[in-house]
Amino acid sequence: MLAMRSTAALAALFATTATLLSSFVSAEPPSALLASASRNPSGIAHLDSAAFNSIVNEAAATRDYSMSILLTALNAPGIDCVPCKAFQPHYEGVAAAWKKNGKGWKEGKAGHYFAEVNFVDGREVFQQLQIQHAPMLLFLPPHGPANKGISYDFNAHGFDAPGVSSHISQLIGKPIGYKKPFPWRTAIIFSLTAMVATSAVLYVVAKVQAQLEASSGGWVLQLVCLATITIMCAGYMWNNIRGAPYMSMGSNGKVEYFAGGFQNQLGVETQIVASIYGILAFSLIALTVLVPTQRDPVKQRAGVYVWSVIFLGGVSVLFAVFRIKNPSYPLRLFL
Protein backbone atom coordinates (compact mmCIF):
# COMPACT_ATOMS: atom_id res chain seq x y z
CA MET A 1 0.00 0.00 0.00
CA LEU A 2 2.64 2.42 1.14
CA ALA A 3 4.98 1.33 -1.57
CA MET A 4 2.35 1.87 -4.17
CA ARG A 5 1.63 5.32 -2.94
CA SER A 6 5.23 6.24 -2.86
CA THR A 7 5.84 4.97 -6.36
CA ALA A 8 2.87 6.96 -7.50
CA ALA A 9 4.25 10.03 -5.84
CA LEU A 10 7.58 9.33 -7.37
CA ALA A 11 6.12 9.04 -10.80
CA ALA A 12 4.30 12.29 -10.33
CA LEU A 13 7.44 13.93 -9.07
CA PHE A 14 9.42 12.71 -12.00
CA ALA A 15 6.81 13.96 -14.37
CA THR A 16 6.77 17.40 -12.86
CA THR A 17 10.51 17.75 -12.63
CA ALA A 18 10.88 16.46 -16.15
CA THR A 19 8.53 19.06 -17.49
CA LEU A 20 10.14 21.69 -15.32
CA LEU A 21 13.65 20.86 -16.31
CA SER A 22 13.10 20.18 -19.97
CA SER A 23 12.66 23.87 -20.42
CA PHE A 24 16.13 24.56 -18.99
CA VAL A 25 18.36 21.65 -19.88
CA SER A 26 17.72 19.60 -22.90
CA ALA A 27 20.72 17.34 -23.54
CA GLU A 28 21.13 15.45 -20.27
CA PRO A 29 18.39 13.38 -18.69
CA PRO A 30 17.41 15.66 -15.82
CA SER A 31 17.95 14.46 -12.33
CA ALA A 32 15.46 15.38 -9.68
CA LEU A 33 18.19 16.13 -7.23
CA LEU A 34 20.01 18.52 -9.50
CA ALA A 35 16.79 20.27 -10.31
CA SER A 36 16.05 20.86 -6.69
CA ALA A 37 19.59 21.88 -5.97
CA SER A 38 19.76 24.36 -8.85
CA ARG A 39 16.76 26.18 -7.54
CA ASN A 40 18.56 26.90 -4.28
CA PRO A 41 21.13 29.71 -4.25
CA SER A 42 23.49 27.67 -2.07
CA GLY A 43 23.03 24.50 -4.11
CA ILE A 44 21.34 22.36 -1.47
CA ALA A 45 18.59 20.08 -2.65
CA HIS A 46 15.66 20.26 -0.26
CA LEU A 47 14.13 16.80 -0.08
CA ASP A 48 10.86 15.66 1.37
CA SER A 49 10.14 12.03 2.24
CA ALA A 50 9.09 11.13 -1.26
CA ALA A 51 12.07 12.74 -2.93
CA PHE A 52 14.36 11.17 -0.39
CA ASN A 53 12.91 7.78 -1.13
CA SER A 54 13.26 8.11 -4.84
CA ILE A 55 16.69 9.66 -4.94
CA VAL A 56 18.43 8.04 -2.06
CA ASN A 57 16.72 4.73 -1.46
CA GLU A 58 15.49 3.53 -4.80
CA ALA A 59 17.93 5.11 -7.18
CA ALA A 60 20.88 3.91 -5.12
CA ALA A 61 21.98 1.49 -7.81
CA THR A 62 22.17 4.12 -10.50
CA ARG A 63 23.42 6.92 -8.30
CA ASP A 64 27.05 7.39 -9.31
CA TYR A 65 27.70 10.37 -7.11
CA SER A 66 28.13 10.69 -3.36
CA MET A 67 25.87 12.83 -1.23
CA SER A 68 25.90 14.83 1.94
CA ILE A 69 22.51 14.87 3.58
CA LEU A 70 21.72 17.11 6.50
CA LEU A 71 18.85 15.90 8.64
CA THR A 72 17.63 18.92 10.49
CA ALA A 73 14.63 20.34 12.30
CA LEU A 74 13.97 23.91 11.34
CA ASN A 75 10.67 25.68 12.09
CA ALA A 76 9.24 22.40 13.30
CA PRO A 77 6.32 22.94 15.64
CA GLY A 78 7.18 21.92 19.19
CA ILE A 79 10.85 21.38 18.47
CA ASP A 80 13.25 24.15 19.22
CA CYS A 81 16.51 22.91 17.76
CA VAL A 82 19.06 25.56 18.57
CA PRO A 83 22.08 23.71 17.11
CA CYS A 84 20.12 23.17 13.87
CA LYS A 85 19.65 26.89 13.44
CA ALA A 86 23.23 27.57 14.33
CA PHE A 87 24.54 24.98 11.92
CA GLN A 88 22.39 25.95 8.92
CA PRO A 89 24.46 28.92 7.63
CA HIS A 90 27.65 26.88 7.94
CA TYR A 91 26.22 24.06 5.92
CA GLU A 92 24.91 26.46 3.31
CA GLY A 93 28.31 28.09 3.10
CA VAL A 94 30.02 24.78 2.41
CA ALA A 95 27.43 23.77 -0.15
CA ALA A 96 27.68 27.12 -1.90
CA ALA A 97 31.44 26.77 -2.08
CA TRP A 98 31.05 23.38 -3.71
CA LYS A 99 28.48 24.71 -6.14
CA LYS A 100 31.03 27.28 -7.21
CA ASN A 101 34.14 25.09 -7.20
CA GLY A 102 32.89 21.61 -8.07
CA LYS A 103 33.71 20.90 -11.71
CA GLY A 104 30.66 20.06 -13.78
CA TRP A 105 28.26 20.92 -10.99
CA LYS A 106 25.61 22.31 -13.32
CA GLU A 107 25.79 19.33 -15.64
CA GLY A 108 25.36 16.88 -12.80
CA LYS A 109 28.92 15.61 -13.07
CA ALA A 110 30.38 17.06 -9.91
CA GLY A 111 30.44 13.66 -8.24
CA HIS A 112 29.04 14.99 -4.99
CA TYR A 113 25.86 16.83 -4.06
CA PHE A 114 24.45 18.43 -0.97
CA ALA A 115 20.94 17.76 0.22
CA GLU A 116 18.85 18.46 3.24
CA VAL A 117 15.80 16.90 4.84
CA ASN A 118 13.79 19.04 7.18
CA PHE A 119 11.81 17.27 9.86
CA VAL A 120 8.68 19.15 8.84
CA ASP A 121 8.79 17.68 5.32
CA GLY A 122 10.46 14.40 5.99
CA ARG A 123 9.19 12.91 9.21
CA GLU A 124 9.21 9.44 7.60
CA VAL A 125 12.91 9.74 6.77
CA PHE A 126 13.69 10.30 10.42
CA GLN A 127 11.59 7.29 11.34
CA GLN A 128 13.13 5.15 8.69
CA LEU A 129 16.69 5.98 9.79
CA GLN A 130 15.69 5.85 13.47
CA ILE A 131 17.13 9.25 14.17
CA GLN A 132 16.32 10.65 17.57
CA HIS A 133 18.32 13.81 17.52
CA ALA A 134 19.08 16.56 15.07
CA PRO A 135 21.06 17.86 13.35
CA MET A 136 22.71 14.90 11.76
CA LEU A 137 24.93 15.05 8.74
CA LEU A 138 25.18 11.87 6.68
CA PHE A 139 27.66 11.14 3.98
CA LEU A 140 26.51 8.57 1.42
CA PRO A 141 29.11 7.08 -0.87
CA PRO A 142 28.06 6.45 -4.50
CA HIS A 143 25.43 3.69 -4.70
CA GLY A 144 25.35 3.49 -0.93
CA PRO A 145 21.97 2.99 0.75
CA ALA A 146 20.85 5.53 3.32
CA ASN A 147 21.47 3.38 6.36
CA LYS A 148 25.11 2.83 5.38
CA GLY A 149 25.96 6.51 5.60
CA ILE A 150 28.90 7.91 7.50
CA SER A 151 27.62 10.33 10.09
CA TYR A 152 29.56 13.45 10.80
CA ASP A 153 30.84 13.67 14.35
CA PHE A 154 29.89 17.11 15.59
CA ASN A 155 31.71 16.64 18.86
CA ALA A 156 35.01 15.86 17.22
CA HIS A 157 34.99 18.25 14.26
CA GLY A 158 32.78 21.02 15.54
CA PHE A 159 29.82 22.93 14.17
CA ASP A 160 31.91 25.27 12.05
CA ALA A 161 32.07 25.30 8.29
CA PRO A 162 35.84 24.62 8.06
CA GLY A 163 35.43 21.40 10.03
CA VAL A 164 32.59 20.20 7.80
CA SER A 165 34.41 21.23 4.68
CA SER A 166 37.61 19.41 5.55
CA HIS A 167 35.65 16.32 6.60
CA ILE A 168 33.75 16.11 3.32
CA SER A 169 36.82 17.00 1.27
CA GLN A 170 38.58 14.05 2.84
CA LEU A 171 35.70 11.72 2.05
CA ILE A 172 35.29 12.71 -1.60
CA GLY A 173 38.99 13.09 -2.16
CA LYS A 174 38.59 16.54 -3.71
CA PRO A 175 38.87 19.91 -2.03
CA ILE A 176 35.54 21.61 -1.39
CA GLY A 177 37.37 24.89 -1.64
CA TYR A 178 35.53 26.49 1.21
CA LYS A 179 36.92 29.82 2.23
CA LYS A 180 35.65 31.78 5.17
CA PRO A 181 33.71 34.71 3.76
CA PHE A 182 35.30 37.98 4.69
CA PRO A 183 33.36 39.15 7.74
CA TRP A 184 32.49 42.65 6.54
CA ARG A 185 30.09 43.31 9.33
CA THR A 186 32.46 42.23 12.05
CA ALA A 187 35.30 44.08 10.38
CA ILE A 188 33.38 47.35 10.19
CA ILE A 189 32.08 47.04 13.73
CA PHE A 190 35.51 46.08 14.94
CA SER A 191 37.32 48.93 13.23
CA LEU A 192 34.76 51.44 14.44
CA THR A 193 35.00 50.11 17.98
CA ALA A 194 38.76 50.08 17.73
CA MET A 195 38.80 53.71 16.62
CA VAL A 196 36.50 54.79 19.41
CA ALA A 197 38.39 52.70 21.91
CA THR A 198 41.75 54.03 20.77
CA SER A 199 40.65 57.62 21.08
CA ALA A 200 39.11 56.84 24.44
CA VAL A 201 42.28 55.11 25.55
CA LEU A 202 44.43 58.00 24.34
CA TYR A 203 42.23 60.40 26.23
CA VAL A 204 42.26 58.23 29.34
CA VAL A 205 46.01 57.63 29.15
CA ALA A 206 46.62 61.36 29.05
CA LYS A 207 44.39 61.74 32.10
CA VAL A 208 45.87 58.70 33.81
CA GLN A 209 49.41 59.89 33.28
CA ALA A 210 48.56 63.18 34.86
CA GLN A 211 47.15 61.24 37.79
CA LEU A 212 50.04 58.83 37.88
CA GLU A 213 52.44 61.71 38.26
CA ALA A 214 50.47 62.65 41.33
CA SER A 215 51.13 58.96 42.25
CA SER A 216 47.55 58.03 42.99
CA GLY A 217 46.97 55.62 40.10
CA GLY A 218 44.51 56.00 37.26
CA TRP A 219 41.08 55.09 38.46
CA VAL A 220 40.00 53.49 35.18
CA LEU A 221 43.03 51.25 35.16
CA GLN A 222 42.49 50.43 38.81
CA LEU A 223 38.89 49.60 38.23
CA VAL A 224 39.70 47.35 35.28
CA CYS A 225 42.42 45.50 37.19
CA LEU A 226 40.37 45.03 40.35
CA ALA A 227 37.29 43.94 38.41
CA THR A 228 39.36 41.44 36.41
CA ILE A 229 40.84 39.96 39.55
CA THR A 230 37.49 39.67 41.30
CA ILE A 231 35.63 38.19 38.35
CA MET A 232 38.39 35.72 37.53
CA CYS A 233 38.51 34.51 41.13
CA ALA A 234 34.76 33.95 40.94
CA GLY A 235 35.26 31.36 38.21
CA TYR A 236 34.41 33.46 35.15
CA MET A 237 36.52 31.42 32.75
CA TRP A 238 34.77 28.24 33.77
CA ASN A 239 31.49 29.62 32.43
CA ASN A 240 33.25 30.75 29.31
CA ILE A 241 34.92 27.45 28.56
CA ARG A 242 32.15 25.11 29.64
CA GLY A 243 29.33 27.26 28.30
CA ALA A 244 27.43 27.19 31.57
CA PRO A 245 23.74 28.16 31.51
CA TYR A 246 22.92 31.43 33.22
CA MET A 247 20.30 30.00 35.54
CA SER A 248 18.48 26.74 35.81
CA MET A 249 14.98 25.59 36.60
CA GLY A 250 14.55 23.29 39.57
CA SER A 251 12.31 20.25 39.64
CA ASN A 252 9.36 22.19 41.11
CA GLY A 253 9.63 25.05 38.65
CA LYS A 254 11.61 27.27 40.98
CA VAL A 255 14.51 29.26 39.63
CA GLU A 256 17.79 27.94 40.97
CA TYR A 257 20.73 30.24 41.42
CA PHE A 258 23.26 27.65 42.53
CA ALA A 259 24.13 24.48 40.68
CA GLY A 260 24.61 21.40 42.78
CA GLY A 261 28.09 20.03 43.09
CA PHE A 262 31.48 21.37 43.90
CA GLN A 263 32.86 21.35 40.37
CA ASN A 264 29.84 22.86 38.70
CA GLN A 265 28.35 26.32 38.59
CA LEU A 266 25.84 28.53 36.82
CA GLY A 267 26.52 31.81 35.11
CA VAL A 268 24.67 33.78 37.73
CA GLU A 269 26.75 32.20 40.49
CA THR A 270 29.86 33.95 39.24
CA GLN A 271 28.02 37.26 39.41
CA ILE A 272 26.68 36.62 42.90
CA VAL A 273 30.01 35.47 44.26
CA ALA A 274 31.92 38.25 42.51
CA SER A 275 29.61 40.84 44.02
CA ILE A 276 30.03 39.31 47.49
CA TYR A 277 33.79 39.51 47.03
CA GLY A 278 33.44 43.07 45.83
CA ILE A 279 31.33 44.11 48.82
CA LEU A 280 33.73 42.45 51.24
CA ALA A 281 36.79 44.03 49.66
CA PHE A 282 35.10 47.41 49.57
CA SER A 283 34.01 47.28 53.20
CA LEU A 284 37.55 46.43 54.16
CA ILE A 285 38.81 49.40 52.17
CA ALA A 286 36.16 51.56 53.81
CA LEU A 287 37.35 50.43 57.24
CA THR A 288 41.00 51.07 56.47
CA VAL A 289 40.91 54.12 54.23
CA LEU A 290 37.59 55.93 54.31
CA VAL A 291 36.51 55.73 57.95
CA PRO A 292 39.75 57.08 59.47
CA THR A 293 39.46 60.27 57.42
CA GLN A 294 36.13 61.06 59.06
CA ARG A 295 36.91 63.80 61.55
CA ASP A 296 33.74 63.64 63.63
CA PRO A 297 34.19 60.97 66.37
CA VAL A 298 30.50 60.08 66.55
CA LYS A 299 30.07 59.70 62.80
CA GLN A 300 33.31 57.78 62.61
CA ARG A 301 32.25 55.35 65.29
CA ALA A 302 28.96 54.78 63.48
CA GLY A 303 30.91 54.21 60.25
CA VAL A 304 33.16 51.61 61.87
CA TYR A 305 30.21 49.66 63.21
CA VAL A 306 28.16 49.85 60.02
CA TRP A 307 31.00 48.71 57.81
CA SER A 308 31.94 46.00 60.33
CA VAL A 309 28.40 44.66 60.22
CA ILE A 310 28.44 44.68 56.42
CA PHE A 311 31.83 42.98 56.39
CA LEU A 312 30.97 40.25 58.87
CA GLY A 313 27.54 39.77 57.30
CA GLY A 314 29.18 39.34 53.92
CA VAL A 315 31.61 36.80 55.28
CA SER A 316 28.84 34.76 56.87
CA VAL A 317 26.77 34.89 53.66
CA LEU A 318 29.81 33.69 51.74
CA PHE A 319 30.27 30.79 54.13
CA ALA A 320 26.60 29.92 53.83
CA VAL A 321 26.76 30.01 50.03
CA PHE A 322 29.83 27.83 50.08
CA ARG A 323 28.03 25.28 52.23
CA ILE A 324 25.38 24.98 49.49
CA LYS A 325 28.15 23.86 47.17
CA ASN A 326 29.93 21.69 49.67
CA PRO A 327 27.47 20.44 52.28
CA SER A 328 30.16 18.68 54.30
CA TYR A 329 32.00 21.94 54.99
CA PRO A 330 31.99 22.35 58.78
CA LEU A 331 32.75 26.04 59.36
CA ARG A 332 30.10 28.73 59.70
CA LEU A 333 29.78 32.28 60.97
CA PHE A 334 26.39 33.33 62.44
CA LEU A 335 24.32 31.93 59.54
Which residues bind to another protein, rule: CB under 8 A?
130, 132-133, 151, 153, 155-156, 158, 209, 212, 215-217, 222, 225-226, 228-230, 232-238, 240-242, 262-265, 269-270, 273, 276-278, 280-282, 284-285, 287-289, 291-293, 295-297, 300-301, 304-305, 308, 312, 314-315, 318, 322, 325-326, 329-331, 333
CB of 136 to another protein, least distance (A): 10
Residue 11 or 79: which CB sits closer to another protein?
79
Residue type, 46: H
CB of 240 to another protein, least distance (A): 7
Distance CA 227, CA 234 (A): 11
Residue 202 or 285: which CB sits closer to another protein?
285
CB of 151 to another protein, least distance (A): 7
Residue 199 or 222: which CB sits closer to another protein?
222
CB of 320 to another protein, least distance (A): 12
Phi, psi of 331 (to 5 degrees): -85, 145
Residue 32 or 138: which CB sits closer to another protein?
138
CB of 251 to another protein, least distance (A): 18
Residue 226 or 249: which CB sits closer to another protein?
226
